[in-house]
Structure 1
Amino acid sequence: MAVSKQKSAADLAARNNAPPKALLEAYRQVLLCVFIATLFIIVLLAISVIKISLLPTVILAGALGAFFSSLMRLYRYEDLPKALVGDGPRLHSFYLVIYSLVPMLIGAIAAAVLYVAFASGYIKGTLFPEFDCYKDLTCDAFKDFVQNYGPKPPDGFAKVLVWGFLSGFSERLVPDLLLKITKSTEAKDRS
């Protein structure tokens, strides 16, 4: 009798700590939306007829970094397999789709900001790409900046893509770098 009371108390405690089915279904739908969005991005990159310049590629690398981070968070969620194969009510809400795309949007914005920080010369060092106007081209207008100004090849391309991915993967990377730049600029202004 005492064993059955202990077992039922443990079952009750486990049920109280278990996430509701609606939450599990939300995780299932978020995973599905993020997966479909990533497949769409990969297909866009795989189509060789579309010529994509470096800046949009870096932005996509940031989005993929954020997607990878989101997948890792979902993968660590213990009850995710139950959510993926279990029965439950379907949540067909627009907010869920938007919620699943927010990390990738933040990753894309962070990658673009980091790219501009590299291009401006605010962030320098051996781990960071050096930017220059490509040979025999001018960089006098914004259009030229986007098309003709970029990292020095070949390692600069790889560095900017890696940093783009990292900026999407690490949610605090770009905000922390911006805070550092702001503090150093303020310190220079005071002296």
Structure 2
Amino acid sequence: MNRIADIHLLTKRLIVMTGVAILIFSTVFALSYLYSQRFMITWVGFLCGIIGGFVSIQQRMKTVSDDELKLLTQSWFTILLIPVFGGVFALVLYALFLSGIVSGTLFPAFYIPEPTNGTPDTTYMIEVFTQTYPLTGQDLAKLLFWSFVAGFSERFVPQIINNVSQKASDQTQTKDH
């Protein structure tokens, strides 16, 4: 096959896989809402990360080497791997937002429930997963944007992790001296 035919084949596969991902996660959203009357925000971030990964592949297609393009057209697994990493990176970024490690006006703020008896327990952990939401519509939009970025730019979240690790290491070394 020639390069243009490979690009068209890959584009078709990306469209199919994006549609399948949206369908699967829409079903998960619907079921979680119908059965628990909760909209699981973690799934939204994960889906945006996956979509960011698919868009990233599409954007890079014209600049990848012929060998990379051949690999992408011959393996569904390779096509799925980048978007799945994007979804995982979106979840890691979500945890960084919730922890306050990454914060500021560019990033979303969240309502996180407090333990009812002052001590976290199983009930509290369920509440954290089911009742943690962005504070405003703007915060939701920021979460969606940054989740997409986490999937689109495969180096974004690892760079944040490296920066946080380095700062923690520097602080530990400063305390030891």
State the match for 1:171 in structure 2: 154
Establish whether residue 65 from structure 1 lines up as the match of residue 52 from structure 2.
yes
Cα shift at 1:31: 3.0
Establish whether residue 151 from structure 1 lines up as the match of residue 134 from structure 2.
yes
Q: Taking every aligned residue pair, what percent have the same amino acid on both sides?
A: 25
Match of 2:110 among 131, 134, 138: 131
Cα shift at 1:33: 2.6
Structure 2: gaps spanning 5 or more residues: 34-38
How far apart in 2 are the matches of 1:116 and 1:143?
16
How far apart in 1 are the matches of 2:161 and 2:65?
35
Establish whether residue 96 from structure 1 lines up as the match of residue 75 from structure 2.
yes
Paired residues, number: 158
- RMSD between superposed Cα atoms in Å: 3.2
Please report the TM-score for the alignment, with normalisation by the length of structure 1. Answer: 0.69
Match of 2:87 among 108, 116, 123: 108
How far apart in 1 are the matches of 2:65 and 2:89?
29
> Does the CA-based 8 Å contact 2:25-2:43 persist in structure 1?
no
Summarize the Cα distance change of 1:148–1:142 in structure 2 as closer, same or farther, 3 Å threshold. Answer: same
How far apart in 2 are the matches of 1:122 and 1:151?
16
Q: Deviations over 1:74-98 (max 9, x none)?
A: 245699xxx9xxxxxxx9x9x6010
> Does the CA-based 8 Å contact 1:137-1:148 persist in structure 2?
no
State the match for 1:161 in structure 2: 144
Cα shift at 1:171: 1.1
- What secondary structure is seen at the aligned counterpart in 1 of 2:136? coil
Q: Deviations over 1:82-140 (max 9, x none)?
A: x9xxxxxxx9x9x6010111111110010000000111111111111122225x98694
> Does the CA-based 8 Å contact 2:22-2:47 persist in structure 1?
no
AA matched with 1:152: L
Structure 1: gaps spanning 5 or more residues: 1-20, 84-90
Cα shift at 1:152: 1.4
Q: How does 1:32-43 map to 2 (within 5 A)?
A: 32-43=12-23
